[in-house]
Structures are given as C-alpha cells and as structure tokens.
Chains A and B, each alone.
Chain A
Amino acid sequence: GIQVEQSPPDLILQEGANSTLRCNFSDSVNNLQWFHQNPWGQLINLFYIPSGTKQNGRLSATTVATERYSLLYISSSQTTDSGVYFCAGVYWNAGNMLTFGGGTRLMVKP
C-alpha cells in the first residue's frame, strides 16, 4: 500500500515566523489532502491538491506529483496555528481512501 511520511515530526516556532512542512508519498495517488487538527480534535481541511500550487491566506501548498511530495507553507505564524498537521494520500477503492502521514506537531509560541 501507499506509504506517507511527514517531516519534521515536531516544530516549535516563535509567533511571526515562517515554516515549511513536507509530505512524501511512496506511490502515485489520485489526490492529496492537508489537514489541521486543532486542540479539540477536529480535522479541518486545508488543501485538496493533486498537483500545482494553491494559496489560502497565510497558508499555501505545492504538490509535485511526479516527484511524490507535497509542501505546506505557513507564513507569519500565529498561536492559533498550533496543532497537528496531517497530509493524506488519496486513492479510490469504493470510496476515497486516505493514507495518513504521521503528522507534524506544531507549537507557535507568543
């Protein structure tokens, strides 16, 4: 099956700093999703990005499908960005199957 690896596993930032999170996947996927899991446990959709670059406010993501990686950029980080960031490779099997990476745990300090 597909393997998804994320790096770094843990990240501490000072408020206002920028960061890049990486997601590598082992095989071709139909799509790739990035999520933010907030301290209450909800998974919030950030990007649905099979290839190319998307931006949403201070966040942007780039997926290079041919090289099997995706990057999530956080600029001008805020304390509310804290939480766990997951990427998931998506493939179809009577449903959109997600293979999650291990997550990056981000703490933004004021």
Chain B
Amino acid sequence: DAMVIQNPRYQVTQFGKPVTLSCSQTLNHNVMYWYQQKSSQAPKLLFHYYDKDFNNEADTPDNFQSRRPNTSFCFLDIRSPGLGDAAMYLCATSGSGAYNEQFFGPGTRLTVL
C-alpha cells in the first residue's frame, strides 16, 4: 500500500542535543509538509517543500530546519531542542495542484529531558 512512513515513532532526546526525524513516502507526491502538534491543540504547519523549493512558515523558529534530498524522503532537524519542543511531529504529503488530498504519517512523539 502507498503510504507515509515516519521514523522513529518515539524519540527521546536531551535538552540541547540535536535530533533528526525522518519521513518517507511511496505516494510519489510533489509536496511534503512538517507539522508540530502539542497536547490538545491542532497541528501547526512548520514548513513544506514543493519539489525542491522550501517554504518556511513565518513563525517557525530558526531552531527547526528541514532537508529533502529526494522526492521520497524529508527530514526535520531540531538543532537545540528545548523543553517546549516536546510534541508530536507529523509529516504529510500531497500531489501538486489545488485539488489534492493531504495524507499524514503516523507521527513521531518527541520527548525532551
């Protein structure tokens, strides 16, 4: 089945220690998105890639970076995690064009000690 895969599902890191979250997709979609979701809140878009073009949301902290080495993979790097970065991180993909559905991966739950 075509899908969006995230690894790891659970990640524990220490305050200030860089961490990388991974997303891959078999849907061959042009667009990949990263969201942050904190407890009892809706997902919040951090940034997205349209092919190789990176689009950052205005209020995304500089601490968050992303890489997309090819169509299938996208990474979220948190350079110096703080306690406030503990959250669920969701990756999503969609085709290009305004009438394409967005599909989400299972998420990575990040704990910062």
Contacts and interface: CB of A to CB of B under 8 A. Distances in A.
A94 B55 contact: yes
Interface string B21-60: 0000000000101000100001101001010010100000
Contacts of B100: 96
A33 B43 CA distance: 14
A43 B33 contact: no
A31 B50 contact: no
Interface residues of B, number: 26
Interface string B69-94: 00000000000000000001010101
A98 B33 CA distance: 10
Contact of A33 (B31, B45, B50, B102): B102
A31 B99 contact: yes
Nearest to B33: A95
For chain A, the bracket of interface size reads 20 to 34
B44 to A, nearest CB: 8
Interface in A30-55: 30-31, 33, 35, 40-45, 48, 50
A41 B109 contact: yes
A94 B50 contact: yes
Contacts of B43: 43, 86, 98, 100
Contacts of A90: 98, 102
A91 interface: yes
Contact of B98 (A31, A40, A103): A31
Given A41-B109, A92-B98, A103 B42 contact: yes
9 contacts: A30-B98, A30-B99, A31-B99, A41-B88, A42-B105, A44-B104, A48-B101, A96-B94, A98-B45
Given A43-B43, A94-B55, 17 more contacts: A33-B102, A40-B106, A41-B37, A41-B90, A41-B109, A42-B104, A43-B107, A45-B101, A86-B43, A90-B98, A93-B55, A94-B50, A94-B53, A95-B50, A96-B102, A97-B45, A100-B42
Give the 5 A-B residue pairs with the shortest CB-CB distance, closest first. Answer: A92-B98, A100-B42, A43-B104, A30-B98, A48-B101
